[in-house]
Chain A
Amino acid sequence: MTVMTYAEAARLAVAEAMRADDRVWCVGEDLGRGGVFKQYAGLPEEFGPKRISDAPISEACIMGAAFGAALVGTRPIVEMRFADFALCATDELVNQIAKARFMFGGQSRAPMVIRKPMGMWRSSAAQHSQSLESWYAHIPGLVVCCPATPQDNYSMMRAAIECDDPVVYLEHKNIWMMEGEVDTSLKAEFGKAQIRRTGSDVTLVSWSHTANLCVEAAETLAGKGISAEVIDLVSLWPWDKAAVLESVNKTGRLIVAHESVAVGGFGAEVVATMAQSTTFKSPPQRLGSPRSLIAYAPNLEDKLRVTADMIAGAATKSMESVA
């Protein structure tokens, strides 16, 4: 076990994979200086400019060229800088990468990790703050990961690089510096949730940074005598339905919380799936951002945040209401 940050954990996983496999390489803007969040620091020195490759400000081509390079046998890690800019490469991801294997009748694979730093961070406003994970979960062909801890950013990155499917890998910008113990013997399994805390009264389901807020909320709830189970999905596609179902069967209460807009968010998918599969003691709830745009001023930004207090409040309310 070593203590490291969320950014360092992913960097270690990338470095180990690159040492083990010459076909793995990284490409994105400003990578030659370690990347805009320093999540590649040290790698240019170790691996050189061909394997930690700078790129022109050409998001469509970064994505498209990495895909072409994957088709001929390399295993690219694509850095999109901010999840928001990945929208400039939507055709390449959604129409090409996600579909190639199927459209070509299984002739090809696109073993790629597409890193998209997401989420609200330091008054970054509407074009540098979005959480669009539910879009990608909607696209057949893609694997979608949203790790919330240094351990998961290490273990999931390892699994993502080894995966032969294209993996959309969303790291939360607000927790680059979050520290935690990392066991480097671990490799994550897609669709296997982390039970971040066990409990018997209410199930809190989340992913990415909001999962950390759920853990905080669970601590508050414990102080009030409410035992909350926190399930961090880690990957949204595939997602661990069995773990959520088992927990809800035990607690009878479900709260899903995410930073992204509630409308059409992945929380709706979780709630709907559970509604088809089990019964509740109180109506399941989802917490997400109001359907507004992320603002610059801190007070405005805060109006859109799902907080630990809100999660605890919803859980408390669910203990009172009856389905």
Chain B
Amino acid sequence: MTKVDLSVNFAGLQMKNPVTTASGTFAARESGEFYDISRLGAVITKGVAAEPWQGNPTPRIAETYGGMLNAVGLQNPGAEEYIKKELGYLKDFDVPVIANLAGHSIEEYCAVTEMLNDTDVAMYELNISCPNVKLGGIGFGTDPKMAAEVTEAVKKVSRKPLIVKLTPNVTDITAIAKAVESAGADAVSLINTLLGMRIDLRSKRPLLANGTGGFSGPAVKPVAIRMVYQVRRAISLPILGLGGIMTGEDAAEFLMAGADAVAVGTAALVDPTAPVDVVEGLKAFMEREGYENIAALKAAFKG
């Protein structure tokens, strides 16, 4: 059996393994009731804005075949509360924290960035792609010029490496990836959720109070793999790959497609221990297949 080294260096961040949590599907206390979060390469926390956001009315969740829709609408308690409660709790764990940032405007994105600059957060992930918030998100992530503008503005005030999270709801994701690369992003993550909708045939209304919502889970994996593959060929920044990862083999598929690290999202809602199970599954897969490290696994891809 091959001895496996799972560690990676992701945009300067040393990680014991390439597995992290997808934003919005991890809460330190609650997820930590099911597994030791220090076993993960990093954790990405739920989207946080400078001020508290109420989010959308309920129902916010709907099931779909092999996945789910969510329209949480980025409900969050604001940066001050986040620093106290979430970061305060995460201090005691041996795991780097990546803060996912939300905003309705460039000013708001910069405000939350500045509020977190003096914390222990290792890295930022800029959510320019959440499809739920009518006022903002969607505009930035779907237009190369606006995506570059917000990246540049946040990069200017940020004292930490910056991942820019891309939305799949575009015609050509490589155009956005190139735009944020030239604007100074240190890495990209993809994919955020796909815009979806379901209708309740009994009430004849959308299942979600918001009408539409973000589609995630194993059903979206092929779309995510294709996009990681395309972006890998278009830019040279490190890529955090996510979208439908349920198992260690799924993670390996993302790494071969071009990702340098991965995140587990919906899987962790439907099975709370999924992130650590993916770490173990990836390790077992690499032992079985004879990959000594992540670089070797990535290099084996023939596509």
A is bound by B:
no
